[in-house]
Amino acid sequence: MKADSLTCLALTVAGLLATAAAGRGSGRRKHKEVFLQENSKFKFGGRINYKLKRQDSTKTLLIKSEQLLRIEEHDFAMRPGFGGAAIPVGIDVQVESIDSISEVNMDFTMTLYLRHYWKDERLAFPSRTNRSRTFDSRLVKKIWVPDVFFVHSKRSFIHDTTMENIMLRVYPDGNILYSVRVTVTAFCSMDFSTFPLDTQNCSLELESYAYNENDLMLYWKNGNDSLRTDEIVLSQFFIEHFQASSGLAFYSSTGWYNRLFINFILRRHIFFFMLQTYFPTMLMVVLSWVSFWIDRRAVPARVSLGITTVLTMSTIITGVSSSMPQVSYVKAVDIYLWTSFLFVFLSVIEYAAVNYCTTLEEMRKMKRWKIPSTFNASQAMAFDGCFHDDDIELTPFSRVAPTLTSDPLTTPAQTPDIRPTEGTRLRRQRSVRENVDLLVSNSYMIDSYSRLAFPLSYLLFNTIYWSLYS
């Protein structure tokens, strides 16, 4: 009995030991599986279960993308087909917007979708449904991509809100689509000789930085259809034309490179400058002509009007010049502004001539005719410094008759009465001195001629200007 109880006790202890050993072994196996799973996060080049890979890999979630594409098995620092023919890389562009165009900096800012197409057989993978796989920027850093850059760019960046705007799509046969959303500010050589009636031709140029034409061939994937644009509306320009073209660029140290061009033509809207520049300038010129109808003895009125129009024209010219680059040639707007400024300036000079001639005319009258003894010169002088006819009792000024004497200032009483004989006509043109003397004696005629000469001259100038630059 005692022996039976001992036997049962021994069997119980042996069972417990066996159970504990089995539990310890299963725990080790579980721990090993967990360790392998955690270790596989850092080791991508491990063995692949080819039973799973023979299935539709696009439906399998157990195989990681790096294992599916066999990234660790290839050197992606080298281009596809290294040592062979140049790899063709197709490009297409969709222009989202033209954000700004700066005349001062001579550049433009454009946001676009840049898409690359090429084939890399190293990234081919099996798929029954022939479906592609799409990845983000994290996988792009581990494979080879074309090193396309923007020629003559000043600044550029890839948008990163909320993630980097990069898309990589890999097809089972190894074809790849690589798309980025980028904003670039590039130089544009502008000609302002006809500004603001100008048309600018700008281009954005794409080129491979490291690979010349022997290693990489850039081309427009769909020809002229490779360049697409959204509806773009600009404040100062109208986009007349978008065109895609290609060419070659040569560098003396590295050779020939394929280069792609995005050409677009910009025509400036003139209405803004008509409101801000041309119409105010026209009004200032017309306003300067008002002084021709003001009495020539009203010195404060005419002088203040002339100075005001001159200063206003100077302000307009300064404002236009500050918003333009400092170019070494004359622009169309400069021709218009400075010619208008000349008209305003001449209207001031015209009054100076009228005032001088009026003063000279009255001084001569004082010398030729007897002045009353009761005349007080200081009282007859107005604030403008000129003698007034109503302050002095003078005989009417007689018209100067053409004479054969050498002195045009000879009075009619002193001129001998020389009459032509019958059957003959004597016609003598006045000399320059006589014409000047006539204007001095009749200074009001200067204003009368100016009222007609200034508007006709300005109208002729506008006709020639707009016919040339429109």
Q: In sequence order, what DSSP letters do the residues of 191-230 get, joined into one string? A: --TTTTS-EEEEEEEEEESS--TTTEEEEETTGGGGEEE-
Strand 87-102 relative to strand 216-220, pairing: parallel
Long-range own/partner contacts, residues 57-63 (CB < 8 A, 24 or more apart): 57/125, 57/126, 57/127, 58/127, 58/129, 58/131, 58/133
pLDDT at 210 over 80: yes
Among 179-188, 250-259, 297-306, 439-448, name the one with the lowest average pLDDT: 439-448
Q: For residue 312, give the 3-state DSSP assignment.
A: helix
- At residue 434, the pLDDT reads 66
Average pLDDT over residues 213-224: 94
Tell me the pLDDT band of 438, cut-offs 50, 70 and 90: low
Alpha helices in 260-331, H assignment, sequence order: 271-273, 279-288, 299-322
Question: What is the DSSP secondary structure assignment for residue 103, as one 8-state letter?
Answer: T
Q: Is the N-terminal amide bond of 396 cis, ω within 30° of 0?
A: no
Q: What is the CA radius of gyration of the chain?
A: 46
Tell me: pLDDT of 183 over 80: yes
Q: Check residues 17 and 232 and name the one with the higher pLDDT.
A: 232
Res 36: pLDDT: 38
Cβ atoms of 347 and 291 within 8 Å: the answer is yes
Residue-level pLDDT at 125? 86
pLDDT at 2 over 80: no
- Least confident interval from 240-244, 321-325, 339-343: 321-325
Residue with tokens 């009417």: 396
Contact 327, 192 (CB under 8 A): yes
Q: What percent of the chain lies above the pLDDT cut of 70? A: 71
pLDDT at 252 over 50: yes
Question: Which range has the worst mean pLDDT, 12-16, 310-314, 369-373, 450-454?
Answer: 369-373
Question: Within 13 Å and on the Cβ side, how many CA atoms surround 102?
Answer: 13
Instruction: Say which residue the tokens 């490779």 belong to.
Output: 226
Comparing 443 with 94, the larger pLDDT belongs to 94
- Per the listing, tokens 């302002």 go with 192
- Residue 330: pLDDT above 50? yes
Cα separation, 256 vs 241, in Å, equals 29
Mean pLDDT of 441-462: 90
For 19-152, where are the E strands, in sequence order?
87-102, 107-119, 133-135, 148-151
pLDDT band at 37 (very low <50, low <70, confident <90, very high): very low
* DSSP state letter for 63: S
Confidence of residue 382 (pLDDT cuts 50, 70, 90): very low
b (16+ CB within 10 A) / e for 306-343? beebbebbeebbeebeeeeeeeeeebbbbebbebbbeb
Percent share of the chain, pLDDT over 90: 52
pLDDT, averaged across the chain: 80
∠ CA 198-203-206 to the nearest 5 degrees? Answer: 175
The two structure tokens encoding residue 114? 């840049």
- Give the pLDDT score at 181: 97
